Structure formats: C-alpha cells, structure tokens
Amino acid sequence: MSHDTWIHRVARVTVVRPLAKTGIAPNHVTTARLILGIGGAALVAVGGGLWPYIGAAVFVVSMVLDRADGDLARLTGRTSARGHVYDLLADTLSNAALFLALGIGESGGLFGPWALVLGLAAAGAVAATFGMVMAVEGEGGERAGELPSAAGFDADDAMLLVPLGIWLGWPDAVLLAAAIGAPLFALSFVVRFRQLFSRLAFQRGAQPGRRHTT
C-alpha cells in the first residue's frame, strides 16, 4: 500500500499537518475513524430519505481519517505495531459495517430479504481478508500483506465506490457488486499468498496430536 495516494494527499493537508503540533495521537485519529465509519454505516442502514446520503458522506470522512492516522504516526515518529494492528482492525470493522448496513438499508428494495444476505457475504469477505492479512504479517512481518498501488489508488480505495453509488442512487447495484467483488478480492488474496498459506496449513497438519488417556 502506498503512502502517497490521492486520499493520503487530501488527508495530509486537511488533517495531518494541522494535528502534527498538537497532543492528538495517531490512535486518537484511528478511534475517530472507527466511530465515524460505524456511525456512517448506521445512517446508511436506516435507509430512505437523506440518511444514506449523509451516512455515505460521514463514511468518506472516516476514510480520510484512515489515511491520516498512519501519516501522522510517521510524521511525529509515533509508529507502533499495536497502532498498525488497531488501524487494520478499524478498517475491517468500518468496511464490514458499511456492507452490512447497505444490506439492511436495502432489504425493502430490489433484492428484498436477500439484500441482507448480500451484505453479510461482503462483510464476511472483509473479515476473512483481515484474518489472512494477520496471518501473512505474522509470518512476513508488518505490512507483508499489503498490496501494490496504481495511479495514486490503493485497493482499499475501492470502498469509495460504495458512497459514490449511494449518492448516484444505485445502492442495489453497489450491494450486488460488493457481494461479488469482496469475496473475489479475498480469493485473489489467497491466490497471491497461496504458497504461504499452503506452508501454514502443512505446519498445522504436521503438528502431533495430543494423546488422551483415561
């Protein structure tokens, strides 16, 4: 993952530089990201009226804060392994919450009760990807599970498409795309690190079983 995407540049100007000389720590920014991410998702879940549009805007602000916490940590020399994991966890919870909220909010729409199933599928894939990232970093070190960037965008920047779809009035299309795209992304992660996962699976299988005596 690059530290110089378009969203990073916005975060640098609007959040990082103003906070650099204050007592606000990177973890405080991460916490704000988590609160706004879940809060925005909750508004999307309400469905109808202006709430999903407002929730989408709140979620975009949370994404800017997500890029800001790491930049602030690097700028102030307050990087830490715990902060890195907290950042990843906040991302996972926020993104999964948005997908689940979209499923709840659209349960009265085109897909009916299946909307919740689609939301759960996308949210579950996000959680699975987080677990795989933790496994990769546990073997290869911090940031070993990061994916390359292109044209100023990270893979995680695709989350911007969800608020954009809500604003354009295409929530059902975004929900369906998320239910397909998130699992495919998780699968691509498996393929990318398949040798590592195969080795971990072999190591678990090779561990001697415990003997039970009576």
208 occurs within a structural domain: no
Assess whether pLDDT exceeds 90 at residue 208: no
206 occurs within a structural domain: no
Q: Please give the pLDDT value at position 213.
A: 42
Contacts of 212 (CB under 8 A, 6+ apart): none
Q: Please give the pLDDT value at position 135.
A: 86
Query: Once rounded to an integer, what is the mean pLDDT over residues 166-190?
Result: 95
Residue 114's closest CA among 99, 103, 126?
103
Question: pLDDT tens digits, residue range 109-165?
Answer: 899 999 999 999 999 999 999 999 988 888 777 777 777 778 888 888 999 999 999
- CA distances to 13, 99, 110, 167, 184 from 115, rounded to whole Å, are 38, 10, 8, 18, 18
CATH code of the domain containing 45: 1.20.120.1760
Q: Please give the pLDDT value at position 179.
A: 97
pLDDT class of 5 with cuts at 50, 70, 90: confident
pLDDT class of 28 with cuts at 50, 70, 90: very high
Write out the residue range of the structural domain in which residue 169 sits: 6-198
Residue 51's closest CA among 122, 102, 109?
102
55 occurs within a structural domain: yes
3-class DSSP string for the chain? CCCCCHHHHHHHHHHHHHHCCCCCCHHHHHHHHHHHHHHHHHHHHHCCCCHHHHHHHHHHHHHHHHHHHHHHHHHHCCCCHHHHHHHHHHHHHHHHHHHHHHHHHCCCCCCCCHHHHHHHHHHHHHHHHHHHHHHHHHHHCCCCCCCCCECCECHHHHHHHHHHHHHCCCHHHHHHHHHHHHHHHHHHHHHHCHHHHHHHHHHHHHCCCCCCCC
189 occurs within a structural domain: yes
What value does the mean pLDDT of the chain take?
89
159 occurs within a structural domain: yes
203 occurs within a structural domain: no
pTM of the model: 0.88
209 occurs within a structural domain: no
1 occurs within a structural domain: no
pLDDT class of 194 with cuts at 50, 70, 90: confident
Question: pLDDT tens digits, residue range 103-121?
Answer: 999 998 899 999 999 999 9
pLDDT class of 37 with cuts at 50, 70, 90: very high
Q: Which residues pair with 150 in a beta bridge?
A: 153
The total of structural domains in the chain comes to 1
